[in-house]
Amino acid sequence: MAKLPETSPAAGLLPLSHGGLTLSEGPARRMWMMQPYPGREAGLDAALRDAHGIGFPEPNRSTGQRGGRLIWAGRAQALWIGTADPAPGLAQHAALTDQSDAWTFLKLEGAGAEAALARLTPLDLHPGVFKRGHAARAPLGHMSAILHRRSAALEIFVFRSMARTAVHEIGVAMRSLAARAAV
């Protein structure tokens, strides 16, 4: 039987730097999609607080820090990202689906990151508007993405199958801004 090598979604594509911007791949983490069962939202929130000290995020927000965090990913959905799996007791309150191999986790850092992504998404990502802890499900070019501000860097989650396209399109935007700055 053939042995397939394990690779990250953006293997060989990143890091990429143009001007003062750097696009890199985030560290591999466990990812789970969490969707509360109807009428179980309060129970899920309480179970999350007991197990991890964080609650289910409000729309367009994230919760958590070390060990695990939840990023709002759409109506009644959150993406769990952590070093461990969510507690087994959560399954009675929510559907949990392992998404670890389904997403590409990118980070865009540097002055002008918001301007680069403004060429690809209709959202206003400036730090005064899209603040730390904010999250949004939005188009990125012709792809669906989850955008998240955890710090000065913008985190971008796209489906694994879109990794090459996302890197290409963000890279084109980065090169375009660098070229304009050089003129």
pTM check: above 0.95: no
Residue 159 CA to residue 146 CA, distance in Å, equals 10
Mean pLDDT for each consecutive 10-residue tract of the chain (183 residues)? 85 95 92 96 94 93 86 96 84 94 95 96 96 96 95 94 97 96 88
Residue 88 CA to residue 111 CA, distance in Å, equals 41
pLDDT at residue 5, rounded to an integer = 82
pLDDT at residue 28, rounded to an integer = 82
pLDDT at residue 155, rounded to an integer = 96
